[in-house]
Structure 1
Amino acid sequence: MPHEHLVFHNPPSATPAEVRAALGRGDLSGALNAMAGTALYGDGDWKELQELYLHLLTHDDHQVSALGATCRGHTARVYRQLDEGRVVAALHRARSIPHLSGTADNALGDIEVFLHPRRARWRGRLWRAMRSWTWI
């Protein structure tokens, strides 16, 4: 079996309209690239992206819904603002879906780190302090 070398690349900046268009024509690869492109660069409106990713969190395709959760964390990092109540509630619901549980947890962690850095630092310190007691 030959070994295939994959090369990582950041997708180009994209718009929510490009994500919708790619999904509409069934271009999964293009949709996934456009989703990452909308979240990574901060070129758009955070509210529009928030609505897009909240909608895609319930998409039928597992890759699209999982990337929708991941992009929530990227959006928190890039824009430093969210409608936190709605997004966190949606991600908490998504944690009960097997293929979304890990990415939803990661997105929740990113939201805490980027929107509440002091709270995240204290939580990390507490976890490190308590970790040594788990061996007893």
Structure 2
Amino acid sequence: MDFIIKALDLAFLGDSTHEKYTVIEFAIVSSVYGLLIVLLDFCATKGACRPSTLKLSYAGYKTFFIIFLWGLGAGIAGLFGAGAGIFEISRTACIFVGVGWPLVLPRLLAASSKDISTEKVPTE
């Protein structure tokens, strides 16, 4: 339960970067910022009657599914990126992952599968 307090601390209140934050907290905060960004895009799209900046379609009940999946994707990308050492655990990196995870996650997965496929296994 302490990791939720630390995640909220990283997201809104505490130091923007510190050694006490872990990869799990980074992933949670990335999810929170991803949700906030897609909700802002939803409000701007519906309020201004213009196309979505994120190129998403908000129609009917599918909207809730899209918002949930955007947050989930940001959390997974944050988890993989911070776990691989690509991102420094900071508030700025959380915001970057929340916005840009559709660009980051496929590259992380491609890089990890390429490393695994070229790995040599000793036969003896």
TM-score (norm 1): 0.30
TM-score (norm 2): 0.32
